[in-house]
Amino acid sequence: MNTAFAAPKGIPEYTPPDSAGFAHVRATLIAAADRAGYGLLELPVFEDTGLYARGVGESTDVVSKEMYTFADRGGRSVTLRPEGTAGVVRSVIEHGLDRAGLPVKVHYSGPFFRYERPQAGRYRQLQQVGVEAIGIDDPALDAEVIAVADEGFRALGLTGYRLELTSLGDEDCRPAYRELLTGFLSRLDLDESTRERARVNPLRVLDDKRPEVRALMADAPLLRHHLSPAAAEHHAAVLGHLDDLGVAYVENPRMVRGLDYYTKTTFEFVHDGLGAQSGIGGGGRYDGLMATLGGPPLSGVGFGIGVDRTLLACRAEGVAPWTGARCEVFGVPLGEAARRRLVAMAGELRRAGVRVDLSYGGRGLKGAMKSADRSGARYALVLGDRDLDAGTVGVKDLVSGEQRSVPLDGAVAELVASLGG
C-alpha cells in the first residue's frame, strides 16, 4: 500500500501564493541590514556539535534539550544549526575576517533547527534573519544593531511591538551579582526543579513565569542596580544613542535570554498580537564568545529576527505590503500558430523585465481567462487566428475589464511602457 508522506512535525511550509508574504518579510529585513553595511555571510546549515555546546552553553535548553545532533557517515558528531551567532564567530576566526578591518559586519538568513514542542509560532524549523558586528566595543554599534531591527519592522509597516532591553553586565560585576542572587535564592522556599535551575544558572529564575515564583522574586536583587561603572556607562550611552535615533524602548531588568553568551546590552522585540510566542527578535552583546571559541578576544553584538513570527505579526496587524501576483502579463493563445507567437513574445517581455506567464495545454478561452485572473496579472494578451491575420493582439486590462486591439509588432514596447518599465 502507498502511504502519503507529510512534512516533519513543527515545520511551517510556505506555499504559493502565501509564500509571497514570507519572501517579502525576509527581503525587507535583509534590506534593512544591507542599508547599514552588513555583508552577506552564507553559513553552513550543520556544524561540529562542540561549536554549539561550547558557544551557546551546555546549561541552555537550546543545547541540552533541543539540538538535532547525529553522527555523520564518518562518525563525526554534527548538529543542525540551532542559531547563527556561534557559526558566524567560528567563520570570522577561521577566515581571519577581523584582519580586514573592524568591525566585521555580516548578515545571514535561513532555517535553524530546535527540537521544541511545536505550537503556534514555535517551530522545529524556524527561519531567521540575523546580523553580527564583531570587533568594536562601542555603544553606538549596539544602538545601530537595534535600530536595524527596528527599521526592518517599521519598513514592513508594523507598529504593535515594543523593544525591551537591559544590561547583563560584564566580567567585573556579573560574578559578584551571581553570588548575591544565589544568596537571595538560598533563603527562598523553592521546589526542587527550580532549585536545580538556580544551581545551573541563577539568573534564569528571574524570568520564571509562575505567579508564586514571581511573588517570591519580587524583592530579588537586580543586576541593573549592581553594574560595574564601565557597564553602567556603556548602558547609558546605548540608551542615549537610541534616543538620538528615535528608537523607543522600555527597560526590562528581569530579562533573561535563552543563550548563555550575552554580556552588557541584551534586548528583545516583543509583539502583543502573538500570544505566548511573542518574541519576534532578540539579541545583544557577547564580548567573551570569540575568546571562548578560540579566537582573539574581540567583542561582538548582533540580533536574530524570527521571520516566521514576524510574518505572523504582519497578519495579526493586518498589514500585507506585498503583492500576491505571480505575474504582470498572462498570455492566452487560441490555436497553434498563436501559441508559437505568444511563447516568443513572453520571452521578449521577460527579457525586458516583465513578469509573464502563459496558458499551456491548449485550453479554451474561458478556462485560460480564469487562470489569467487567478495569476494576479494586470494584462491578458489574447491571440487567435483572426488576430494573427490582422496583425494585432487583444490586450485586456484585467482590473478595468477593458479590451483593445494593439498592433502585434508594437505590443511588447507598449506593454513595457504601460507597466512603467
Binding site for ligand HAM (CB under 6 A): 83-85, 114, 116, 121-123, 126, 128, 130, 132, 258-259, 279-284, 286, 302-304, 306, 308-309
Cell numbers for 152, please give them: 526592518
CB of 208 to ligand HAM, least distance (A): 18
Q: How many CB atoms lie within 10 A of CB 64?
A: 13
C-alpha cell belonging to residue 306: 524570527
Give φ, ψ of 10 to 5 degrees: 80, 20
**Phi/psi of residue 68, nearest 5 degrees:** -90, 95
Least separation, in Å, of the C-beta of 336 and ligand HAM?
Answer: 51
Q: Which residues pair with 403 in a beta bridge?
A: 396
CB-nearer residue toward ligand HAM: 132 or 287: 132
Q: Given the complex with ligand HAM, which of 121 and 331 has the nearer CB atom? A: 121
Cβ-based nearer residue to ligand HAM, 164 or 357: 164
Instruction: Report in angstroms how near the CB of residue 123 gets to ligand HAM at its nearest.
Output: 4
Query: Phi then psi for 193, rounded to 5 degrees?
Result: -70, -35
In this chain, which residue has its C-beta nearest to ligand HAM? 306
Length of the chain: 421
How far apart CA 310 and CA 201 sit, in angstroms, is 30
> At its nearest, how many Å lie between ligand HAM and the CB of residue 173?
20
CB of 314 to ligand HAM, least distance (A): 13
Residue 278 CB, nearest approach to ligand HAM (Å) = 9
Residue nearer to ligand HAM on the CB measure, 84 or 135 = 84
CB of 120 to ligand HAM, least distance (A): 10
Cβ of residue 315: shortest distance to ligand HAM, in angstroms? 14
The Cα 280–Cα 221 span in angstroms is: 28
Of 295 and 335, CB closest to ligand HAM: 295
Burial class, 20, CB count within 10 angstroms (exposed 0-12 / middle 13-18 / buried 19+): middle
**Nearer residue to ligand HAM within complex by CB, 280 or 354:** 280
C-alpha to C-alpha distance for 414 and 416, rounded to whole angstroms = 5
How far apart CA 353 and CA 349 sit, in angstroms, is 6
Residues 6+ apart with CB under 8 A from 210: none
Question: Which three-class secondary structure state does DSSP give residue 267?
Answer: strand
Q: CA-to-CA distance for 123 and 111, rounded, in angstroms?
A: 11
Nearer to ligand HAM, 52 or 330 (CB): 52
Euclidean distance between CA atoms 390 and 408, whole angstroms: 9
Q: Which amino acid is at 204?
A: R
Pick between residue 148 and residue 388 the one whose CB is nearest to ligand HAM.
Answer: 148
